[in-house]
Amino acid sequence: AILKILSKSGCLDSADRAERLFLQCKSLEHSPDNNQNRETKFSKGKLATSKVDHITYNTLINIIAKSQNYPNRASRAQALLYEMHDSYFGGNVGAKPTTVSFNITLNACALSVDNPSDAMLSDTALNNDLAKAQKIKCHQNNIFRIAVDVMSTLEKSLICRPEDASYAMFLKVCAGLQSGNRDSDYNQIVRDTFMSCCASGFVSKLVYNYFIDASDETTRNSILDNTTPLLTTKSNVDLKIMPPNWSRNVHSDML
């Protein structure tokens, strides 16, 4: 409950406070009397001593994702996601990750990829444009690789599956990369992800729009020209003219 309050507080230090509370929660898991009916006070509320569940993990990841002044928030979100995964397979059934867990981790990447504070451009050593450009490129490549790893893990997961929001968040990360900072395999990854989304039937309008933003003309045309030539731009798009199986699993209000 306290974490949920912090998630809505808008305080600049909400992520740091949430992290401290989270660590206190985890310490109680290993307390000798964790199984006893004991409560520990935290600030203005009380927190029962129990194992950290997926709701707690998800709330913390979401707080970190939205904290612009939190350093390396994408990598921290990824670490928490995989910690949750390991906790579940280690016997903590309440920590079972959901698709939402992956989505909010991808959102942390999307919110971080083009944020100057995440790239730590305030470093006094960055005294020229070239140094700043290199810093941004390194930062964006790192975020992209985190997003690729998270999306790949979700697609291979035995406990949850990608949905339209998952593909949208991943493609949003891709769209946020500056064109000069895209790796040689970038276009192929974007293409493969969109094709996987098509095969899964989760192409919503949001997914499609981010795909257009993330892809180059060659990539778009290789997919769209032979099937839906009117869909190669975002202007006045009507996804009902796309192959029906592309969006078969999308709720009607997302089309």
Q: What is the pLDDT of residues 37-72, one digit of tens each?
A: 434 333 333 333 457 899 989 999 999 998 888 888
Task: Kindly report the pTM of this predicted structure.
Answer: 0.81
Identify the CA nearest to 203 among candidates 166, 162, 169, 250: 250
- Would you state the pLDDT for residue 41? 36
Write down the residue that tokens 């930062």 correspond to.
139
- Would you state the pLDDT for residue 47? 39
pLDDT digits (tens, 9 = 90+) for 80-107: 999 999 999 999 999 999 999 999 999 9
In this structure, how many other beta carbons lie within 10 angstroms of the beta carbon of residue 23? 10
Q: What does DSSP assign to residue 254?
A: G
- Would you state the pLDDT for residue 7? 52
- Would you state the pLDDT for residue 108? 95
| Structure tokens, 107 | 């959102």
Counting as low any pLDDT under 50, the low residues of the chain are 1-2, 5, 34-49
Give the count of alpha carbons within 13 A of 221, CB side only. 3
- Would you state the pLDDT for residue 128? 73
Alpha carbons 172 and 215: distance in angstroms, whole number: 11
> Could you state, in order of their start, the residue ranges of all structural domains in the chain?
2-142
